Amino acid sequence: MIKIFLTLALITNIASFRASDNPIKQSIATLESNVGEMEVEMIQLKDGKWKLRSYLDGGRIVKREEIEYFYLEDNFIRPIEYDFSMKVILMRKYNASAVFNWDENKVSYIEKKDKGSVVLEEKVLGPSSAQLQLRLDFRKLDLENIPKILKYKVFWRGLIKERIFDIQENPERVETPLGNYLAYKVSRRYEEDEAKSQVFWLAPELDFSVIKIFNDDGRRPITVEMKSFKEID
């Protein structure tokens, strides 16, 4: 399967923070990838909940939609619901969903024909929330003393696992359709026997927006770059 569970990381761009204490802004963005163009929107609902939605139209190759609902509490994401659907050429449609019940401390999930629930630990993030949380945390870091790693607990495919991100100390120049920016390189750490790679570039000039992602699941490398975004009143 072509893995494109990386788009909500770039959705952090359309959150469009102006300073570390400013609220999230409702926004819409266009992303460019080597499998098609993607539209991403982030809106706040009347009950205060946030909705992140991305839709990729890769023509006959792939079509996918990803939606996550969450609350933002004290600069930390509290996921509520997650839905994902994807259709890849020569493959059946893939569906997955998860509901985070914080009152009962459990997350219930459905993935294809598999379903179940696991105990919900404190500060667990959704399948895509870790990348957004990464940016929120980067906004508060002391750039004179950048940590070497950041760690998060993430629900993924019926399990809660720790994700570790290695941070490159010095920023580097990154060219994107949106422009050329200095950005910090952050790499997700995998086990030695996993032939995978996922790298993010966060630009301080854009308040640590994730301007580019490279993802390689061992089958097909995918590069996603920010092309444009605008705030919604």
Instruction: Report d(CA 149, CA 119) in Å as an integer.
Output: 26
- Looking at residue 170, what is its pLDDT? 92
- CA triplet 101, 50, 209: central angle to 5 degrees? 120
Tokens of 64: 């996918």
Instruction: Report d(CA 215, CA 196) in Å as an integer.
Output: 8
Q: Look-up: residue for tokens 């570790």?
A: 164
Q: Which domains does the chain have, with CATH numbers?
A: 7-231 (2.50.20)
Determine the distance from the C-alpha atom of residue 204 to the mean position of all C-alpha atoms in its chain, rounded to a whole number: 18
Q: Cβ atoms within 10 A of the Cβ of 217, count?
A: 18
- Looking at residue 11, what is its pLDDT? 46
Instruction: Report d(CA 159, CA 185) in Å as an integer.
Output: 27
Q: Cβ atoms within 10 A of the Cβ of 46, count?
A: 5
- Looking at residue 6, what is its pLDDT? 47
DSSP 3-state of 11: helix
Q: Look-up: residue for tokens 């792939």?
A: 62
- Looking at residue 81, what is its pLDDT? 96
Could you read off the pLDDT tens digit of each residue along the chain, which spans 233 residues?
A: 444 444 444 544 544 434 445 556 788 888 888 888 888 888 899 999 999 888 888 777 788 899 999 999 888 999 999 999 988 876 678 899 999 999 999 999 998 888 999 999 999 999 888 888 888 899 888 888 889 999 999 998 889 999 999 999 899 999 999 999 999 999 999 988 888 899 999 988 887 888 899 988 777 788 989 998 777 87
